[in-house]
Amino acid sequence: MATVKARYLGGLRVECEHLQSGTKIVTDAPVDNHGKGEAFSPTDLCATSLAACMMTTMGIYADNAGIDLTGTEIEITKKMAQEPHRRIGEVEIVFHMPDREFSDKHKTALERTTKSCAVHFSLSEQLIQNVRLEWKK
């Protein structure tokens, strides 16, 4: 059974519906690729999916370790490459960790966990993934 149903709306826009939940998103081509940039581009969603997957995997670890990551904020910067063809060349992800006490053991484990999510393993090894966790205090 399908997971998502999508429909081309014209004007370089695509409406995507998550079938289980009914949640919809619309993508738009970016300004630098013939679009209006009025919504997430497909490559924005790819970079965002990487960060969300990392955060989800960190959340699973945190739940099992009894630590709370609620309030973690994430900045995602996507950089496109043109050679040998247009693609995402680099994604920078900065996790701004909540103002709590984390042991060195938990910090190390959370940093390692970012490299164990399914999206990370699904993307090309050519994609540069710069990931940083910023700890308060």
Please report how many Cα atoms fall inside a 13 Å half-sphere around the Cα of residue 82, on the Cβ side. Answer: 2
Cross-sheet strand order for the sheet of 128-134: 73-81, 87-96, 128-134
pLDDT tier at 136 (50, 70, 90 boundaries)? Answer: confident
pLDDT tier at 4 (50, 70, 90 boundaries)? Answer: very high
| pLDDT reported for residue 84 | 86
Neighbour-count burial of 87, counting CB atoms closer than 10 A to its CB (0-12 exposed, 13-18 middle, 19+ buried): middle
Q: Where are the domains of the chain?
A: 4-33, 42-134
Locate tokens 């924005």: which residue? 44
Q: How many Å apart are CA 4 and CA 1, to the nearest integer?
A: 9
Query: pLDDT tens, 13-48?
Result: 999 999 999 999 999 999 989 989 999 999 999 999
**pTM (two decimals):** 0.93
Query: In the CATH scheme, what is the code of domain 42-134?
Result: 3.30.300.20
| pLDDT reported for residue 132 | 97
Query: pLDDT tens, 44-88?
Result: 999 999 999 999 999 999 999 999 999 999 999 999 999 888 999
- The one-letter amino acid code at 44 reads D
Q: How many Å apart are CA 29 and CA 92, to the nearest integer?
A: 21
Under DSSP, is residue 22 helix (H, G, I), strand (E, B) or coil? Answer: coil
Q: How many Å apart are CA 19 and CA 5, to the nearest integer?
A: 7
137, pLDDT greater than 70:
no
- The one-letter amino acid code at 62 reads A
Query: pLDDT tens, 107-127?
Result: 999 999 999 999 999 999 999
| pLDDT reported for residue 83 | 87
